[in-house]
Amino acid sequence: MLYWLLISFQDSLSAFNVFRYITFRSGMAALTALLFVLLMGKPFIRYIQRKQYGQAVRDDGPETHLKKQGTPTMGGVLILMGLSLGCLLWADLSNPYIWLLLGITWAYGAIGLLDDAKKVLYKDPKGLASRWKMRLQVLSALFVAWGFYVVQFSSPISGQLFFPFFKNFSVELGPWYLALSVLVMVGTSNAVNLTDGLDGLAIGPSIVSVGTFFVLAYLGGNAVFAEYLQVPHIPRTGELAVFCAALMAAGVGFLWFNTYPAQIFMGDVGALALGGAIGALAVATKHEILLVILGGVFVMETLSVIIQVLSFKLTGRRVFKMAPLHHHFELLGWPEPKVIVRFWIVSFLLALVALSTLKLR
């Protein structure tokens, strides 16, 4: 909104021309989101405490987690509000990518809110039934995937899947690209949700991933940079840098309150929304395969659950002491802060690997 208001003055005052620059508006969106979350964090936590919306802890997890029972939850609402404020004020709202990204983030946030509401109101640690959660996720992702496909329909790369490390190598999927897009968004959303088991564990890698997509979106949206780096050029996706900046800053603001020992948890409203946004960013920028590298922490957490379940069903034995993977390290005797920080470090290193592929083509 401010973008359109302020840009209208550029003809009378040249200084207002600065609002055309994505980099400037990204900085302002980040500042807006960060300040909002930092200022509203304490009042929001007090409100959740008054309402007694505390975390319900499953009794089949590590015993050390029982002390987290009753910690305020649904802090992901802060992230969504900070993101929304930053985007609505500073993004070009005529850009369809902004609305598609906000749409999937809000939709998954709403699904998570339903899940959290069942947990805190009915004290049910399992929350919303998995089948309903999955159906709602798939429907939301399908709608947004169709939106991406329509926006990119006139582009020759609309249905192509690109491979990192290779120059100009892609596979045409046609309409099947919709199925891939849904898989990426739903899979990433649930992967982030599985990772959200320790204080600050999920938000750290999420900030790193979104920050990486800030770079990828800005470069891919610029024809000159995209041609030089041999990455897919997707017109108008450069505006997603504003979205990424706002989401990254909102995440940093939330981490102020979520770092160990956490004053508030993000809940499913935050974890599902973050994962959906990261998956949608990968689809919008044509970096679906690169996301496997960039989101390696989320991939490892998900694979640990799959391996544990399959191993127990087939052999009756467990590969890990407990899944997801972060619980395995906890039961090995690692203090919670050590697990968190080391997972952050791994996430940062994977982001460097992902960015290095820009020159290895």
Q: CA 173, 178, 179, 182 torsion: positive or negative?
A: positive
Model confidence, pTM: 0.93
Per-residue pLDDT, 195: 95
Give dist(CA 319, CA 304) in Å, integer.
Answer: 9
pLDDT value for 232: 84
Where do runs of H (alpha helix) occur along 259-285? 267-284
Q: How far apart are the first and last CA of the chain?
A: 39
- Within 8 A by CB and 6+ apart from 151, the residues are 96, 97, 100
Among 185, 161, 179, which Cα is nearest to 279's? 185
The one-letter amino acid at 41: G
Q: pLDDT of the chain along its 361 residues, tens only?
A: 665 555 555 555 555 567 688 999 999 999 999 999 999 999 999 999 988 877 766 555 565 655 667 788 899 999 999 999 999 999 999 999 999 999 999 999 999 999 998 888 777 667 788 899 999 999 999 999 999 988 886 676 778 888 887 777 788 888 889 999 999 999 999 999 999 989 999 999 999 999 999 999 999 999 888 888 888 888 899 999 999 999 999 999 999 999 999 999 999 999 999 999 999 999 999 999 999 999 999 999 999 999 999 999 989 899 999 889 999 999 899 999 999 999 999 999 999 999 998 876 6
Tokens of 169: 């190598």
pLDDT of residue 100: 97
Q: Give the pLDDT score at 153.
A: 66
SS3 (DSSP) at 324? coil
Burial of 290 (0-12, 13-18, 19+ CB in 10 A): buried
Collect all residues with Cβ–Cβ distance below 8 Å to 26 and sequence separation of at least 6: 90, 214, 241, 242, 244, 245
Q: CA 36 to CA 132: how far, in whole Å?
A: 33
> How far, in Å, CA of 305 to CA of 327, rounded?
11
Q: Which two tokens stand for residue 212?
A: 């990486």
The single-letter DSSP state of residue 72 is B
Residue 72 pairs in a beta bridge with: 54
What pLDDT, on a 0 to 100 scale, did the predictor assign at position 151?
A: 87
CA distances from 21 to 28, 216, 288, 298 (A): 11, 17, 27, 33
pLDDT for res 102:
98
Residue 302 pLDDT: 96
- Give residue 169's pLDDT: 78
User: What confidence score (pLDDT) does residue 74 get?
Assistant: 92
Residue 231: the pLDDT is 84
Q: What is the reported pLDDT for 167?
A: 72
Residue 337 to residue 343: CA distance in whole angstroms: 10
Q: What does the angle CA 155 – CA 161 – CA 167 come to, to the nearest 5 degrees?
A: 90
Residue type, 85: L
Interatomic CA distance for residues 25 and 246, integer angstroms: 10
Which of these, 284, 263, 299, lies nearest to 73 by C-alpha position? 263
Domain coordinates in residue numbering, the chain: 2-356
Q: How far apart are CA 210 and CA 320, in angstroms?
A: 30
